[in-house]
Structure 1
Amino acid sequence: MDIQTPAPPPEGCISCEVVDTHILLIGINRPAKRNGWTPRMFRELAEAYTRLDDEPELRVGVLHAFGDHFTAGLDLPQVVEHLRRGEKLAPMGLVEPHDFGLPGYRRRTKPMVAAVKGICYTVGIELMLGADITVAGDDCRFSQMEVQRCILPTGGATLRMPERAGVGNAMLHLLTADEFDAAEAYRCNFVQKVVPAAEVLDAAVGIARRIAAQAPQAVVATRLNVLKAIELGQAAAVADFGPVQQRLQTTEDAAEGVRAFVERRPARFTGR
């Protein structure tokens, strides 16, 4: 996919573009600084995630980056005072992009596909782990290097690395701050696909298109049920089976799904 890089301000920004009506491309835009994160970028990312959830026509987000690298991590001189004061970098009341339920923030309901390439350090790993599906370029270089700077990873790495890869593999990468490649990220289940670097965005958008073609309410319900099982346990997720299924079966899309099955054609879902 060929998209133009909008000229960002010096402190970077998040550039959004709607594709195929239902897909929101969310671009990390500070390539001159290897997409190093500033307070403005965190605020605009939360705004973009909130837009995805709030606009009815949007069904899937794709988080990607302009330039050769996903991100080199935090721009420490710009954020260190916020870290010292324990301040959040995203305004409260919005969708928090790391998606682990911080008090005062909304949880994302719609799916997010991450497309990562080149350098993907610290907050980059945490954002891709906070997405639902990640496509990585074969040129990726990953590192969760906070311990090198006397920082605690607070974007979800300590939660999701052991969940995906087991405690030993998580400790290996969290405590050594080593650099690892796409093959190791795939082995640890941090990413779901590895493709040539030039194909990363196309592959991620292809997955997003497949998701966007499904019944939107069922996609959201399925995603939330998976997260409930992970976070609250099997019994909590099973308890939702009956009431959620009943609610879905009263929708126009459920009727369309039956019609499409009988008529042997692709369903045309509206989200209603």
Structure 2
Amino acid sequence: MGGTEHLGVRREGATLVLTLNRPEAKNALSLPMLVGLYDGWLEADADDGIRSVVLTGAGGTFCAGMDLKALAGKGMEGEQYRDRLKADPDLHWKAMLRHHRPRKPVIAAVEGYCVAGGTEILQGTDIRVAAASATFGLFEVRRGLFPIGGSTVRLPRQIARTHALEMLLTGRPYTAEEAARIGLVGRVVPDGTALDAALDIAERVNACGPLAVEAVKASVYETAEMTETDGLAAELKRGWPIFDTADAKEGARAFAEKRPPQYRRE
């Protein structure tokens, strides 16, 4: 199990919990954090014992975005990781889920600030839980910057264009209630309970057939930009093989026998 000084990694049963851990800087993105994140996504992909991932932040904050001091040329912590970035210049985009999509479901548990790069990473997650006092927004234009983590492409595909453009072009903060109303997050819970709620969702995901879960997630993203006809054809291509798996037979047998299923990824 990996992790760095700015990214905590732990297991909760079949769930891998990744914690952005730089609370003194509101979990602003750093090189150690990005390296740890990418390694976490790779670990989740490689380990069949992991069925879901929960992404959260330490110290009551999710992520306040890029370290602007580093961007201004004042240096970024974690120089020892520079060789990783040189070996893979795309590593930071993969870490932020811009150029990488884990095959396991990723559930975001948001407390406090989830702004700029935090909101951009959020768009790469699959299910999103927010604490009541959480704050969202893409502040880049207020600093004369561009939200290059994918937001001009992803956000209008995830929420109504008018809401996406207001968020992108005004750079204003959004409350958790507003974020839920426009569809950026799916659930708002009391402060301090976002992680527990995300872990509860993860546990429900983990109880399902893993081959089915991964195929369903893949189908949703694969067909998103297809015509309905092409999408339905692609869905059949992904879905039919699931019915021939031992897990599918176990699911039906467990239902008939009124017991929890024991899935084996077969």
State the TM bucket, normalised to the shorter chain. 0.7 to 0.9
Q: Aligned equivalents of 2:174 and 2:86: distance in 1?
A: 28
Q: Which amino acid aligns with 1:268?
A: Q
Q: CA deviation at 1:93?
A: 7.8
Query: Which residue of structure 2 lines up, in the alignment, with residue 16 of structure 1?
Result: 9
The equivalent position to 1:109 in structure 2, one of 95, 103, 112, is 103
Structure 1 residues 193 and 128: alpha-carbon distance in aligned structure 2, compared to 1, 3 A threshold: same
Query: Which residue of structure 2 lines up, in the alignment, with residue 85 of structure 1?
Result: none
Q: CA deviation at 1:237?
A: 2.6
Query: Which residue of structure 2 lines up, in the alignment, with residue 161 of structure 1?
Result: 155
Query: Which residue of structure 2 lines up, in the alignment, with residue 91 of structure 1?
Result: 88
Query: Which residue of structure 2 lines up, in the alignment, with residue 3 of structure 1?
Result: none
Q: Aligned equivalents of 1:124 and 1:270: distance in 2?
A: 35
Query: Which residue of structure 1 lines up, in the alignment, with residue 17 of structure 2?
Result: 25
Structure 1 residues 166 and 246: alpha-carbon distance in aligned structure 2, compared to 1, 3 A threshold: closer
Note the alpha carbon deviations across 1:145-190, whole angstroms, 9 max, x for none: 0112222112222123222321111111111111110111001100
1:195 and 2:189 are equivalent in the alignment: yes
Q: Which amino acid aligns with 2:10?
A: E
Q: In the alignment, is the contact (CA less than 8 A) between 2:35 and 2:95 conserved in 1?
A: no
Note the alpha carbon deviations across 1:16-42, whole angstroms, 9 max, x for none: 00111x100000000111111112211
Aligned-CA RMSD value: 2.3
Q: Aligned equivalents of 2:72 and 2:43: distance in 1?
A: 28
User: Across the two proteins, how many residue pairs are aligned to each other?
Assistant: 253
1:60 and 2:52 are equivalent in the alignment: yes
Q: Which amino acid aligns with 1:76?
A: L
Q: In the alignment, is the contact (CA less than 8 A) between 1:43 and 1:90 conserved in 2?
A: no
Q: Aligned equivalents of 2:124 and 2:86: distance in 1?
A: 16
Q: Which amino acid aligns with 1:124?
A: G
SS at match of 1:130: coil
Instruction: Using structure 2 for the length normalisation, give the TM-score.
Output: 0.87
Q: In the alignment, is the contact (CA less than 8 A) between 1:52 and 1:61 conserved in 2?
A: yes
Structure 1 residues 54 and 157: alpha-carbon distance in aligned structure 2, compared to 1, 3 A threshold: same
Q: Which amino acid aligns with 1:252?
A: A
Q: In the alignment, is the contact (CA less than 8 A) between 1:144 and 1:177 conserved in 2?
A: yes
Matches within 5 A, 1:260-271: 260-271=254-265
Matches within 5 A, 1:28-43: 28-43=20-35
Gaps in structure 1 of 5+ consecutive residues: 1-6, 83-87
Q: In the alignment, is the contact (CA less than 8 A) between 2:16 and 2:54 conserved in 1?
A: yes
Q: CA deviation at 1:8?
A: 7.3
Query: Which residue of structure 2 lines up, in the alignment, with residue 250 of structure 1?
Result: 244
Structure 1 residues 93 and 172: alpha-carbon distance in aligned structure 2, compared to 1, 3 A threshold: closer
Query: Which residue of structure 2 lines up, in the alignment, with residue 78 of structure 1?
Result: 70
Q: Aligned equivalents of 2:168 and 2:127: distance in 1?
A: 21
